[in-house]
Structure formats: C-alpha cells, structure tokens
Structure 1
C-alpha cells in the first residue's frame, strides 16, 4: 500500500528526471489538457488522411486505431508518473501528429501545437535551456502573421468584421463599431493583430526582450479572450501551458520564515503542494515586521515578493489552477456567461498580481536584500 501511494504521488513530483521541472510540468499539463478534450477517443482509423498512403490501414479495421490508442495510453502513463519522461513525451507527440496526418478532421492548431511542444520536450534535456520552445513560438507567430499578411480580407477588415460582427455577434465590437466610420474599427483590430503577432515572432528570439514578450503574449491573448469570450478550442490553454517552459523553476532549497498567527494557513497550503520537498518552513520571532520571508541563494524576499516567488516555483500550484479550471468548466458547462465572467476575472487578477511591476513604489515599499 505504501509503495502504491508513493507511486501515485509521482504524478505530482517534478524533480529527478531528465527534464527541467518546468518543462516536465508543461508536458504533464498539456497531456492532461489533451485527455480532458477527449484526444484519446478521437484517435481513429484513417479518414481523409493528409497522406493518402495511410488509407492502406483501412484494409485492417481497428488495427491502426487500437495500436495508436495503446501506444498513447502507455506513453501517457509513463509521462505522468515520471517513467522515461523524454521518450514518453516524444512518443505522445508523435502519436498525435500521426493521428492528425491520418484524419483531416483532427487537425486543429491547438492539437498540433500541443503535439509539437511534446516532441520538442522529448528532444530537450535537463542541462541546456529550452531553446527549441523559443523557435517554436517564433514560428507559430511568424506563420500566423504571414498568413494574415497574405489575406486581402485582413487588410480590408472584412474578416474581422464578419467574424466579430456576424459570426460571433460580439456586443463590445457591435457597440464600438458604431462610434467609428464603417470598417475603420475592423481594420484597426486587424492591423493590431497582424503586427502584434509579427512583433512577438521577432522579440521572442532575443534574451533581453523574451521575458517582456512572454508577458505581452499573456496579456494580448487574455485581452482577446475578454473581448471575444472565445478560447479558440483549447488554443489559449495550450499557449499558456507552453509558456511554462520559460518559467525556470529553481532547484535550490527555499528557506521560508513565516508569522504563525497570520501565515500558518499559508504554510499548510504549501506543505500540501510541495511534493518535491524543496521548502523548509520556520516560524519567525514575534514583533517582526514581515509575515513572510524567503531566503533563496543570495536573496532575501519579503511578504508578497516572497509569496510570488514561492508560487512560481511550486509546480503543483499550476496543477491546482488547471484542476480549478476543469472543475469550473464541468460545473458551469451549461452556464457559459457565468463561466466566462469567472474565468476573465480570475485570469486578470492573476495577471495583475504576477506582473513584474514594482507595486511597492506605488504603495508600501517591500524591501529586497542581498545576503552578505
């Protein structure tokens, strides 16, 4: 029983594999996302394949279908429970790509991006930075922008007007478009989308602008989601999860001092999430000015700066966010407006809280010290 419990807990552990912790976190969440969207059951025998030769498998019904499902299931199990994670991630990605090539109805950008991310994770290691994901994101946005640049309907605003005004009947767009001359708002939104995506493709390549670009991607797509109430399948979730590859999770121990009266619940919360046992918690002396202090390498962080650092370096915090999103989606599936409002409010709160802005200059200053 103890062995079984230990094995199950590996689902929530991210250290000690041949992947960086953040990349393994990304892979597990992408896989859970695909499973939640029924990817396993969507795998089938070839149907209108991109490669006509794959039709040969239809001579033997269910051989292709069951074979891919078995491989996908076994490799998914291995990845989730930290068994040969690089190989498992590579196989999962290849199975999804092969499924897409075998059936055109399965081709969606969000499925393809997840598959590519899993393949690139399998090709990465725990020694080098995940440069392959930089190239993937650059190619995604470069391809998206070039595709729009070559479409006359994007330059004229016809696509945006038809999509938001007719297909979606988007209230904010319909209201705001009345305040502008005909098609001006549609053109403006089209140009913003095209040149924003092209700029992202360029600036993500440079180390100095990469962090800011990642935040810009999050804000840009959250704004689109807020205006359109549309997730583009699970593209938005896929993109945010892929960006976790850029959130370098420290391997060092986190030494945390907390105020017992006000932060004891916080300590219990992180004790549950810290499956890798990288955090040590100790109560502070009464009368100290801080309620949370974090010592990490040569830094000492206090209060909300410390809390944000601990959250961003706790992989199961992101697993919890994913679980909350899935539960809300299930509970409010037939109440889409309520679901959208709750999602939008929650995401914007998270963005404002974690934005790399020195709020202490605007409000009360929270110091950061270097250890001597």
Structure 2
C-alpha cells in the first residue's frame, strides 16, 4: 500500500504565480524579522534589558529608537534625504535607480527563462563577461562618441548571449541540467576575468588587477547632469522591460517560450521545436544580462575589476522571483533592491546598524517567496483555489 501525506508540495508554479498580496507580506515579514535583529544587535537595547523589570519603558524606547533610526536612515539613503539641502535631497533616489539598472536587465532575462521552464543561474557570469567586453571595447577602440558607446553596449550584449548560449546548446543537444552548467559557467567567467586582469588584454599594469578607464566617448551619458550619477542606462532598462513585455505577451516567439514552460511535452506535440526554444531562451537571457554588465561598467564603474559584477547576477534571481517574472513586477523589485543597496551605507554610518541586515532582508524575502505556503501559514491566509487548505477554509 502506498502511503500518502497531506503535506503541500512546493513547486515552481506556486512560486511563479504567487499573488501580489503574498509578495507584499513576504517583504513585510522580512522587515519585521530584520527589525528584531536590529533590536538584538543594538548596544543601548542590550544595556537597558539588564534592568528591564525595573524600567521596562527604557527597553521599549531603546528598541523603538534602534528600529526607527535604522529604517529612517535607510529611507534617507535610498529615497529622499530630508535633512540635506538642494540637489542632495533627491540624490538618494537617483542612486537607487543607478543600483537598480543592472539588476533590472539581468532579472528580465532570468524572468524569461523561468517562464520558459529554465532555471538559469548563470546571470552572474553573463553580466561579468558582458562587462569585460564593454570595458575592452571602451578603452581599446577610438570611435566617435555615439558610435563608441553603441559598439560597447552591443558587444557586451553579444558576449552575454554567446556565454549563455553554451548552456542552451548543451541543454538542447545533451540534456545537460542548466542549473549545473550555468553555475559552472559562473565560476569559469570569474576566474577567466581574474586571469585576464593580470595580462595586457584587460590591464595595463599586471600588478594592478584593474582595467584602464573607458574613454569618455564610451561612457553612458548622464541623465540629470554632473551632480548625479544617474545615466541613460536606466532609461534603456525601462525600454528593455517594455520590450520583454511585448516579446512574452504579444509575439509568436514569446508564446512558444510560455508554451514550453507550461508543458514541454504538449508544446513538442504541437510542433514547437523545444530544443531550439531552449537555445533561444538562454541567448535572450544572456543578451539582457550582458546589457546589465554594460550598464554597470559604462554607466557607474568605468573600469573593470574582478568584483565588478558584485552579486548582481544572484540578486537578480531574487528580483525576478519577487517580480513574479513579469516586467512590471521586476521593475518594482529591482527598485526595491536598488533602494536596499543605496540606503545601506547611510543606515550603517548614522544608526550603527550592521550593513549585513540588508543581506538578511534579502535572504528572508527569498525564503518567503520560495515558500508561499509558509507566508499563508504565518498570516493565516487561505490556500490557493483548489488546494486542500483553500477547501477547508471555504467549508
């Protein structure tokens, strides 16, 4: 006899189609848990806790000051600094947009893959390879201003697409698991760029693992003038989001992508070349990730380092999941994560809050987004229609 259980099965469909309410509650729960950690880490709270039973108000007041101070500093560093004056007041929101730009490009590509049923973990390597090509084209060529930046951007996109195509071809021809292949490609890209930065290909001085700065003609133009770092890459990222929406919702190719993601066998029976779709999806994702690398290099860093990609590729996975793989949601999620990046330095310097709290917020968001039933349980919500929990709630 086969034993059955009533435990819910968490699958990709639950993650990708979770409701906006669950997304909001996941973010809220992450902020609450992080607030608890802020309270525990605050010296004033720990000191007042020593005489809590004598004066409990001191502990409550210290806890409130710690949490409100941390999140206020996060807001001032990411959205609007009301204590500053002039252009410095709105500089935080522009920094949030700068940080969100490469995340948006990479997450759009990942979202396409997720909807097509491919769990692409290789955005990190694709971003880094795209940034490397953008850097080389940016300082090695001598071209007019508009042409130079276009060549650097297109070269980065092409490199990202070719790097991702490796995983797509291996998936199509051999059935290799794209998760394993893309993780390995991430490491290959990291160490390849690290080595190239010790050669004359990407570095002028072998003892300094950093490339020359790209020529001014290859830099993405600033959007609001020299007082802000916000560049036209952010506008290109928004245009890319519109393009991805059209691709996935209005084009024949997007229909094939979604059909393969919904039911691979049914798509093959309907005459769709599933193996070709695998390659096309990976190339499209790589093109967008390469654009993210170009935006980071040509718009913000201007010189290539082994750490140029940072954690963009991995954070983009969370951004895509948080945005439910839809362009509009990804834009909002990218801005949220950009705000966490932009606001964390001020949160650390002014409120003495460990910057690792931001990483905790991101990690907890991932945890709750990946486990929708956990969020429903925490907030006593009914299950999805048709599930046992939903039927019990309705009865």
The structure carrying a bigger helix percent of its residues is: 2
TM-score above 0.5, yes or no: no
Using the size of structure 1 for normalisation, the TM-score is 0.26
